[in-house]
Structure 1
Amino acid sequence: MRPQIGLLADLPPAQRRAVLDRTTRHAFAAGEVICTEGDAADALHFVVEGRIVARRASRGGDIHAYAVMGPGQTFGEIAMIRRERRRTATIEALEPTVTLSLGFREFEQLCAAHPEVNQLLLRLLAARVTRLTDALMESLHEPADHRVVRALRSLCGSYSIAARPDRPITVPVNQTVLAELAGVTRPTANRVLRRLESDGMVDLDRGRIRIREPHALHLAAESETRQRA
């Protein structure tokens, strides 16, 4: 059975098979660092199973998480188009994770043989630009409390792929990572989480957050967005 990779779905079957046939499977344990910012890069990765967190160093040297990615998503495409092919982020597996890697050289060969495959890189970059634009707009215009709720909702959506939307969802992310994803301090994230806990929406445990009512969390995020409109 071939893995379902979102961005490959738009390719014709022959080109999709050509891409997958050139990939190499990798398995990573929870907590394992897949690549480190600044390392030489030679491949992009499609996430097939599990979740990864992307972190990047600030100018001051602090390390901050900025994205959690799961099945169907991709990392490593930015290094492909840079003159100096270096990793732009540190990638760590949040849980047991499987990826399929496609070497940059193999990708270039595929593009030469199948021009349609070249559109894949354009879609990868377009998706990245959209995510970054959304994150920038949110950081500029959304209050800190709202960003925490929206970041938690985003994580909830990522982990509910294989679950019923009305069932509790456990997200193996600690409060520090959530704060980094929301662009707030840890005390702010903790205050918002305590409020959600008192409202019966979440349970807090060491290193994880259990969303008791995913639908209620979604409504809370939407309500705060409407209040800002």
Structure 2
Amino acid sequence: MRFELLEGLSPEERRQFIAACTPRKFRRRDIVCHEGDPGDSLHLIAAGRLIVRVTTPLGHTATLTILGPGEMFGEQALLSPDARRTATIVAVTDAQTLTLNRSQLEKLRAEYPQVERFLTTSLAAQVRRLSAAVLEALYLPVETRVLRRLAHLATVYGDERGKPSLIRLTQEDLASMAGTTRATANKVLRELEDQGVVRLGRGAVTVIDRARLEKKAR
């Protein structure tokens, strides 16, 4: 499995980093961590999909995104001894992660100073993602936000062979990711279905034409 945020490390540093990790397996619907839990480990996703949810100030649950193989979460937790999880992570399929706790990371940092690049790259990438999300929320039409979230999900659930992406996700979750209502998300999905871009099913969306969807999402 290729982890993009480790690409800045040398082959030996990557080998040491992966070797220091502890493999973990989760079944579908397992809770990986709860919002507010102590943030004591980093997870690299080796297989499966994980959904990220947070609690709003009004007490509702909001879905932020879905993470897939090659992605990671929990990097901020390694930088502060009193850090807490900022979201609840749930496995939406069977999943496998590689975990690294704070003491393991400190040992690697002492032995391989270039591991610092890993942390810098990780945090910079997160700032870019958050900045892009704010700009989208402020300036993009809601329909475009739905299309972009769906295009991202098609990538997370897809493969390099271009086969249709079966996204097992409720319309409520998609709407939450785009910051809109279920009715609006449903309208966009119905239009895409009429155009032959997606096929709708119970609790799932199959993206038939990823190239066309990505073009619409620009």
How does the TM-score come out when normalised to structure 2?
Answer: 0.96
CA displacement, residues 141-191 of structure 1 (integer Å, 9 cap, x when unaligned): 01111111111011112222x2423x3211111111111111111111111
Structure 1, gaps ≥5 residues long: 223-229
For these two proteins, the number of residue pairs brought into alignment is 218
Alignment of 1:154-169 (within 5 A): 154-160=152-158, 162-165=159-162, 167-169=163-165
Q: Tell whether 2:176 aligns with 1:170.
A: no
- Post-superposition offset of 1:119: 1.2
Residue 27 of structure 1 aligns with which residue?
25
Distance (Å, rounded) in 2 between the aligned partners of 1:175 and 1:124: 30
Q: Which of 198, 205, 223 is equivalent to 2:201?
A: 205
Distance 2:102 2:202 in 1: 39
TM value normalised by structure 1: 0.91
Give the secondary-structure state (helix, strand or coil) at the position aligned to 1:115.
Answer: coil
Q: Which residue of 2 is the match for residue 45 of structure 1?
A: 43
5+ residue gaps, structure 2, are none
Q: CA RMSD in A?
A: 1.2
Conservation of the 8 A alpha-carbon contact between 1:53 and 1:65: yes
Instruction: List aligned pairs for 1:11-26, cutoff 5 A.
Output: 11-26=9-24
Letter in 1 for 2:65: A
User: Percent of pairs identical after alignment?
Assistant: 38
Partners of 1:211 and 1:13 in 2: how far apart? 36
Cα contact 1:54–1:65 (8 A) shared by 2: yes
| Cα offsets for 1:6-60 (capped at 9, x unmatched) | 2112211111111111100011111111000001121100001111111111111
Q: What stretches of structure 1 move > 3 A for 4+ residues in a row? A: none
Contact 1:29/1:93, CA 8 A, preserved across alignment: yes
Query: Do 1:79 and 1:88's aligned partners in 2 also have CA atoms closer than 8 Å?
Result: no
